[in-house]
Amino acid sequence: MARLYFMPNRLTKSIIMLAVIIAGFAVAYVIFNNTGHVLIGETQNQASVIANTNKTDSVIDPKKIYEVTDIIDGDTFKVMNGNREVTVRMLGINTPETVDPRKVPECYGKEASDETKELLKGGEVRLELNPNREKYDIYGRILAYVYLPSGLFVNEYLVQNGYAREYTVGSPYEYQKQFQYDQNIAKRASKGLWEMCK
């Protein structure tokens, strides 16, 4: 009696390979938590719990000076708020990505991160929230305007000098039109990323 053997053809092999790749991505599902570090295999519910943890006792006083404890990239850093370390995301701007493991570092990302590190190396900032707008992003990071003790408006400085792009998510924010204007000037002057990342 003849035996029947299953001989996978090219299509079957391709489907199996695709299934293995998809399963690999599912297992290595990557999200950012409130600290800006990467978590492997976290679910959306777990991310929500982490994000909400950052919000606890995170009332920001615009008159207070906050100690900078870590700089994650060009637009994200950590401060001490009371006895808790919280993550701040600069509102209205976006610097090129450098820390997302899913992506190759973007053009001018290192320069933007280095500039933010230089600006914040004094270790002190003042934070302001935008009135009538959400105080946290989906990762639980505080959305803020950042000022140095000298009065330098860091968010605007980074846009003006080509380290960041204007960035709107959701509803307009207080300095949206100003940042868009600053971006156009920086672009016309070929500053920073506008010169290097054509």
Give SS3 for 39: strand
141 has catalytic annotation: yes
10 has catalytic annotation: no
169 and 105 in contact (C-beta within 8 Å)? no
89 has catalytic annotation: yes
Find tokens 């998809």 and name the residue.
22
Give SS3 for 169: coil
Q: Which of 131, 94, 132, 138 is nearest to 113 (CA)?
A: 94
160 and 152 in contact (C-beta within 8 Å)? no
Which residue among the candidates 126, 141, 156, 166 is catalytic per the annotation? 141
Which residue among the candidates 89, 111, 126, 156 is catalytic per the annotation? 89
CA separation for the pair 196, 191 (Å, rounded)? 8
Find tokens 């610097």 and name the residue.
95
Buried b vs exposed e over 15-50: b needs ≥16 C-beta within 10 Å? eeeeeeeeeeeeeeeebbbbbbeeeeebeeeebeeb
Q: Which residues are catalytic?
A: 89, 97, 141
